Amino acid sequence: MKLEFIEQPYSLRRLYFLVRNRVFEDIGPVLIVSAAVLALNLLLLLTSGRYNPGSVQSWGMLLAIGGVFLAGNAFSKMHDGKAGTEWILLPASSAEKYSAALVMYLIVYPVFASLIAVLETLIITGIGYFIQGSSLWIYNPLSPIIYNNYLNYAFFILLAMAGSARFRKFAIGKTAAIVFSFILLGSLLLVLGLLLFDNEGRQILFNGVRGHSVEIRRTLDLSKDRAMQILMQIFQAGTAAFALGYGYALVREKEARDEVQ
């Protein structure tokens, strides 16, 4: 038996095979969506007199949504009655299986999807340039807005992967519902906090308001508040670390579907 890599608890060779297999599995949907986007844009270009190819932000958002959707199905096979047992028993460690998904959706997909976006914008605006004489615009994946938002993308990827490891069906929808619930809860706590730190708010909270409603009108822009920014970063990093650990633990502890024969 060739044991050079099978004996290693973590093997880069196995990681490569796992990532490669993920590429093979995901390339179909990515190419189909890319073709649809290209066709739609070409249709708009050829039928509309005032075609706008979009912006780096809009293309970046589209790619990010695609990545989150793929990551939301990262472990769907693991939950499948038939494929699940095969997935669990594939000779690779849980760490390799989880990190292969991380490599795929944090590195391989963004690079590959960005290249497709570059190619598509080149084709679309190139055709527009030759037919209509419109300006040439190419999606630039190295724009500051893209790499500044990469960590936000990574955050959502980790959430989607944890959701995919947790839920067997409708993982993306259920994960989105949980995230939305947390945002709602966070917002309520924020409002409660603001009321507690406000004289008028405390009056309302502790003395009650009878017979009529009270409006508090204040300009509130927390995005410029440094403390709030740090708090948000800590929250985001903590949630990402939790999602990473939680998702990995679920993959590690996954068992074949219950059945008594």
Residue 184 is given by DSSP the state H
Name the residue nearer to another protein (CB basis): 88 or 119: 88
Q: What is the DSSP string of 66-107?
A: HHHHHHTTTTHHHHSTTHHHHHHHSSS-HHHHHHHHHHIIII
End-to-end Cα spacing for the chain = 34
Please pick, from the candidates 36, 86, 186, 216, the single residue that binds another protein as defined by CB under 8 A: 86
88 to 117, contacts with another protein by CB under 8 A?
A: 88-94, 96
103/15 Cα distance (integer angstroms): 9
Query: Using CB under 8 A as the criterion, what x/- string covers residues 180-219 for binding another protein?
Result: ----------------------------------------
> Closest separation between CB of residue 100 and another protein, Å?
12
Cα 55 to Cα 52, 82, 129: the distances in Å are 9, 43, 17
Select from 82-90, 143-151, 163-171, 230-238 the region that touches another protein (CB under 8 A): 82-90
> Closest separation between CB of residue 101 and another protein, Å?
16
Buried b (16+ CB within 10 A) or exposed e, 99-131: bbbbbbbbebbbebbbebbeebbeebbeebeee
Total residues contacting another protein by CB under 8 A comes to 34
The answer to whether the CB of 62 falls within 8 A of the CB of 134 is: no
Name the residue nearer to another protein (CB basis): 100 or 113: 100
Select from 3-11, 37-45, 190-198, 216-224 the region that touches another protein (CB under 8 A): 3-11
Place of tokens 């960590």: 151
Name the residue nearer to another protein (CB basis): 3 or 227: 3
The residue ranges that bind another protein (CB under 8 A) are: 1-9, 11, 14, 17, 21, 24, 80, 82-83, 85-86, 88-94, 96, 253, 255-256, 258-261
